[in-house]
Structure 1
Amino acid sequence: MTSLRFSGLAAVALLAAIGGCKGETAAKETVSEHGMTIKPVTITTADGKAHIFKSEVAANEAQQQQGLMYRARLAPDAGMLFAPYPPDGGPPKAASFWMENTPNALDILFIRADGTIATIGENAVPFSQAKVESGEPIAAVLEIAGGRAGELGIAAGDKVTWK
């Protein structure tokens, strides 16, 4: 009997290990049709509400230069995270973005090194070459659909996190 009990426990342990391996496979990063990793980005507002955006990560210079240009649509819970900014991983610096070849209005959230929002360029005008400026050194930028920041009560000083 003892050997059967031990065998049963061994089988349970083996099944748990196999299940653990499956979980690791399922935890692989999701990649967008544009070849960028997709990560959840959470914005926690001053009143404690958390808003999660499924964001493509523009992590290198080419991806950051392309951004959301030529994208026909951006879902309300989607975004693009420019991180690190600058893409060479250097220290935070002031940034300016424009909307050339971008057909959708965007809210551009400039994020400090401490994860707080410095400024928001709200409803940046599609196809405009006017610069939307951070106003101070920043470490990341999150672009979301135009008007979403206002709809959700997102403001300067709110906290932005991602893994």
Structure 2
Amino acid sequence: MIGDRLVWARRFALAAALFVVAGAFGSFASSRVVADEAAPAVGSEHAAADQLTIVSGTGRHVFHIEIADDDAERAKGLMFRRSLVADYGMLFDFQRTRPVYFWMKNTYVSLDMIFIRADGTIATIAKDTVPESERIVPSGTPVRFVFEVVAGTTARLGIRPGDRIEHPLVDAAK
């Protein structure tokens, strides 16, 4: 009987520890769930699109976007996409300002990750991320949003930290 209680207590402690560890990774967009490998490419007729504008020193750059604003969408992100259209991307809304962390596991296309403050200004940019890498890509500072686009986009368009994002979600967060 005491042996049964000891076994139960150990199992409970192990389950509780696993739950705590899993919860610690809750703010990682990198804890992405396994998604359907047949997911539509961003910009395909199946992907619901909205528009976002980046105002930079080189002009106004309009993108068609998908929005990831809940845990499931943020976890899936752009995983399993085989290609991205040049003027498309995904806007991640984390609902509050905090440091965020991404990885490229199961993401087959190199990306530029644009980390955005709640006021809509670009804080940092992670350029040319490595497909399928498990290396953590941190925001480096607390942010509210992240905008992912195909790698090379920020260099091609001259997008830099300090540039501004225009989108209703960003405007509402100010």
Q: Shorter-normalised TM-score: what interval? A: 0.7 to 0.9
Q: Which residue of 2 aligns with 1:57?
A: 67
TM-score (norm 1): 0.73
Question: Using the alignment, how far apart are the partners of 2:45 and 2:137 within structure 1?
Answer: 26
5+ unaligned residues in a row in structure 2: which ranges? 1-43, 169-174
Indicate the residue corresponding to 2:3 in structure 1. none
What is the Cα deviation at residue 39 of structure 1?
Answer: 1.3
Superposed counterparts of 1:4-43, under 5 Å: 33=46, 37-43=48-54
SS across alignment from 2:97: coil
Instruction: Flag as ranges the 4+ runs of structure 1 deviating above 4 A.
Output: none
Work out the CA distance in 2 between the residues paired with 1:158 and 1:81.
Answer: 16
Q: Which amino acid aligns with 1:45?
A: S
Q: Among residues 106, 110, 120, which one is paired with 2:111 in the alignment?
A: 106
- CA-CA distance at 1:109 after TM superposition: 0.3
Question: 1:118 touches 1:136 (CA, 8 Å); kept in 2?
Answer: yes
Structure 1 unaligned segments of length 5 or more: list them: 1-30
Question: In 2, Cα distance between the equivalents of 1:58 and 1:158?
Answer: 22
Q: Is the 8 A contact 1:32 1:56 kept in 2?
A: no
What is the 5 A alignment of 1:1-163? 33=46, 37-47=48-58, 49-83=59-93, 85=94, 89=95, 91-163=96-168
Distance 1:32 1:134, change over 3 A: farther
Corresponding letter in the other structure for 2:104: M
Q: Distance between the aligned counterparts of 2:113 and 2:100, measured in 1?
A: 11
Which amino acid in the other structure matches residue 79 of structure 2?
A: M
Q: Provide Cα deviations, 1:109-153, integer angstroms capped at 9, x if missing partner.
A: 000011000000000000001111111110100000001100000
Q: Which one-letter code corresponds to 1:62 in the other structure?
A: A
Measured after TM superposition, the shift of residue 32 of structure 1 is 6.5
TM-score of the superposed pair, with normalisation by structure 2: 0.69
Q: Over alpha carbons, which structure has the higher Rg?
A: 1
State the identity as a percent: 40
1:63-122 residue CA offsets vs partner (Å, 9 max, x unmatched): 000000000110000000002x1xxx3x30001111000000000000001100000000
Question: What secondary structure sits across from 2:127 in the alignment?
Answer: strand
Letter in 2 for 1:160: I
- Aligned Cα root-mean-square deviation (Å): 1.5
